[in-house]
Structure 1
Amino acid sequence: MVNLMLKKSGGVDSLFTQVENEQLNSLVSLAFRETSRHVLEEILTQHKFMKHLTALSRYLLLGQGDFIHYLMEILSPSLAMSASSLFPHNISTLLETAIVASNAQYEEPDILKRLDVRLLEISAGDIGWDIFTLDYHVDGPIGTVFTADCMRQYLMLFNALWKDKRMTMILSNIWKEQAATSKLCRDLPELTVVLHGIQLLTTEMIHLVHQMQYYMTFEVMECSWHGLMTNLKSAQSLDDVIAAHNEYLKRIVSGAFLDAESKHLRIHLRTFYNVIENLQCLQELLSSAVLAEVNARKVYEADAKARTASGNFGTSAEQQEAEKKRRREFTTKVVTKFISDLRIITQTYQNRMQSFLLMLTQHDDWNLHLLSTRLDFNLYYHKRDHRLSQQLTYHHKRKSMGTSFTQ
């Protein structure tokens, strides 16, 4: 086609005359479009761009739920240990186990070969949870789209989402512990206040985590994915694909509070996770204390029954007094300490939540205002802070809705 245009125009020399500049521009534009179309077709078909994009969404953005859930379960014992005791080959074995046990086993072999684990640099006091991350190896022409900077953003997103997912697992374990502890506490009425307080706080934390997951899944990632698919359908060149993918990542990073403008929200969110971990420690201590107290009372009652069966008095005055003293100490020292610790954790959480809600309501993104409404659906925190009840001005609403992820 290019040769035909040259013949019709009278040769190469005629292209460089002032009169024939339009023909040169047309020729260059035609060559560019043809080359771009060919490169785009190669990336999309020969190098399976969409399959790699979907794999990144499934594994680094935690879209493959059954795989992520099982991987977290089998990794938990190892990741709870000191970071220095972890070795990549051991973690890789568990990764392969999770793949075989989930629908990830049906992925193409090339995709699974690229999926790997990475252990980050160890700092003092780190445990396995602090250094573990999934990785996806990218090479060849697709590296033009999935650049090193893009993969760094994917890993950053994985770490944030993995942390969020871990909080769900912790709260689930706390709830299970509470169910078991409540049965043991039927004969320990002095612990009713503690149990009730922990259950209320756990419920509030579960609500927070679920709402954050809903926000990230549907209002950030799903909307961003829809926008990416729309842009890819209209892409005319590789540059359009790169721009669409970069915009997709930018929107997710911003929605996950990982960009510079929203980083204070992510830092504040991490403080919630510290409080959740503190509640987990308190629940573990409570379970141990309850079990020890129940066993001590069972031993006392069993000894009394044994002595009665042998024809003796069940207990002596000294034994009764010693048992009463032990129970008083349990109430005044152990139970009181639990009540005090629970009050501190609850107050810390509620103060953090109040500040977090205020940050959300003052943000420019309208979706975060809706998130604030869902988090405080019963207006509990609105009643504590009048600033949360202030209505947005018309100008502020227009500005917020203009930055929505759904635009």
Structure 2
Amino acid sequence: DEIDCLVQTAAEAVNNRVKDQMLNEWGLVKHLDALKRFLLLGQGDFVEPLINAIGPELSKRASQVYRHNLTGAVDGAVRGSNAAFIYSSDVLERVGVRLLEASPGDSGWEVFTLDYYVSKPLDGVINPMAQLSYRRIFHFLWRIKRVEWQLGEGWRQHMAAAHVRIEKHLPGTRALLHAASLVQGQMVHVVSNLNSYVMFEVLESEWRHVAERIGEARDMDEIVAAHQQYIHNIFAKILLREEESDLAELLQKVLDAIGSFCNCQNALFASAFGEIARRHASAKPPKNSSIQAASTSSSFSFDVNGSRSAASLTEDWDLGVPQRFLDSIKMSASVFEEALKDLIVALEDNMKGAEMLKTMAYRLNFNGYYSRDSTLLSS
């Protein structure tokens, strides 16, 4: 018994010493907080400048994206954020860029990932499996940030169109852009609420819990267990577990539909601004002005079963908005609406056993709007 008591006393002394070194000398909590701020995109004044700086670069094909072009932007965003006044250079210099292996058709968005160098003995807690989990969480959050950035770019295109008074140059665009802006407003609502849910009700909430557990831990085993539980809880709440794969797929369809809608808008604006530039260059009055005048006074119907005259199928802007833009924007808006309704129904069906799913469903559909038989692009 005396020997057992001595062994237990020695073990407690060693555990306390190791724990004290990990928390104080090696700053485990500081590095976990840095991971939350950078890899989990919790530092807002880092994320926004970063995505604005590298967004155009990441829109290129993956084969045209190079790590050295991104590293400077990441370093600038890190040092320009408030985190530069919180952490030493030892922490800031650990944030880097990693480019994943590209698949055919990938853009820079798919291969880009932030990296955080974990040295010994920190890798005793932030082990390779945990680092992989952080990267999976990052890619989920990065998809949300990507569509958020795309929606912001779309809004800037709308402002540019208003600035040049596009409806005067291209009569017929006003009704389409008005309807598209309403759809975009709903997409912004969904993305902002999803982002708010993830950042505040998942990441910040779980961070408070893990910080408390680590502070109360009696040994390294409890610290490791607290960190593993932290990652597990985040996975569960943002649909990254295998059990929620169906919900995750539905959420991805919503984000894909938003991205598709933004791409359709970009194509519309590129064509419209190009047409205006050509007309200014030629300085000739547009043809078929009577047709244009008629299209100015008419409103566009976006009913799924609606039809338009064969003349509108031409790419000639003198006949109104080319039909392919009407069809593509209407289709992407319809896909978004259906995907969002499917997601909300699935969340409501599965939320009995998960309080956080109930919270997500309420945020996305707080007034029951998407439970009604509505069509986003209506006349």
- TM-score, normalization by structure 1: 0.79
Question: Percent identity over the alignment?
Answer: 29
- Give ranges in structure 2 of 5+ residues lacking alignment: 294-310, 375-379
Which residue of structure 1 aligns with residue 146 of structure 2?
166
Distance 1:80 1:67 in 2: 20
Of residues 312, 336, 339 in structure 1, which corresponds to 2:326? 339
1:111-150 alignment, distance < 5 Å? 111-150=91-130
Distance 1:264 1:66 in 2: 33
How many residues were matched structurally? Answer: 348
Q: Say yes or no: does 1:356 pair with 2:343.
A: yes
Q: Which has the higher contact order (CA 8 A, sep 6+)?
A: 2
- Closer, same or farther: CA 98–272 of 1 in aligned 2, 3 Å: same
- Give ranges in structure 1 of 5+ residues lacking alignment: 1-21, 305-319, 386-407
- Shift of the alpha carbon at 1:189? 4.5
- Shift of the alpha carbon at 1:141? 1.3
- Shift of the alpha carbon at 1:337? 3.0
Which residue of structure 2 aligns with residue 40 of structure 1?
19
Preserved contact between residue 257 and residue 335 of structure 2 (Cα < 8 Å): yes
Of residues 217, 232, 244 in structure 2, which corresponds to 1:250? 232
- Closer, same or farther: CA 86–287 of 1 in aligned 2, 3 Å: closer
Which residue of structure 2 aligns with residue 365 of structure 1?
354
1:213-224 alignment, distance < 5 Å? 213-224=195-206
Where 1:146 maps in the other structure, the secondary structure is coil
Identify the range of structure 1 (221-230 vs 362-371) with the bigger mean alpha-carbon deviation.
362-371
Bigger helix share: 1
Which residue of structure 1 aligns with residue 136 of structure 2?
156
Distance 1:165 1:359 in 2: 23
Identify the range of structure 1 (46-55 vs 331-340) with the bigger mean alpha-carbon deviation.
331-340
1:4-403 alignment, distance < 5 Å? 22-106=1-85, 107-183=87-163, 184-187=165-168, 188-295=170-277, 303=284, 324=290, 329-330=316-317, 334-363=321-350, 364-384=353-373
Distance 2:57 2:19 in 1: 44
- TM-score, normalization by structure 2: 0.85
Distance 1:197 1:341 in 2: 13
- Shift of the alpha carbon at 1:261? 1.1
- Shift of the alpha carbon at 1:333? 6.7
Corresponding letter in the other structure for 1:50 = V
Identify the range of structure 1 (131-140 vs 173-182) with the bigger mean alpha-carbon deviation.
173-182
Corresponding letter in the other structure for 2:63 = S
Deviations 1:173-212 (A, max 9, x none): 1111112224523324422331122111101110110111
Corresponding letter in the other structure for 1:380 = Y
Deviations 1:223-250 (A, max 9, x none): 1111112211211101111011110011
Moved runs in structure 1, 4+ residues, more than 6 A?
325-328
Deviations 1:271-322 (A, max 9, x none): 222212221222122213333444566578x557xxxxxxxxxxxxxxx866
- Closer, same or farther: CA 61–299 of 1 in aligned 2, 3 Å: closer
Distance 1:284 1:228 in 2: 43
Distance 2:57 2:270 in 1: 23
Deviations 1:49-104 (A, max 9, x none): 11111111111111111112111111122212221222323322222222333334
Corresponding letter in the other structure for 1:159 = H
Deviations 1:115-147 (A, max 9, x none): 211111111111111111111111211111010
Distance 2:79 2:45 in 1: 11
Preserved contact between residue 289 and residue 318 of structure 2 (Cα < 8 Å): no
- Shift of the alpha carbon at 1:25? 2.9
Distance 1:49 1:265 in 2: 34
- Closer, same or farther: CA 179–362 of 1 in aligned 2, 3 Å: same
- Shift of the alpha carbon at 1:361? 0.4
- Closer, same or farther: CA 189–373 of 1 in aligned 2, 3 Å: farther
Which residue of structure 1 aligns with residue 377 of structure 2?
none
Which residue of structure 2 aligns with residue 4 of structure 1?
none
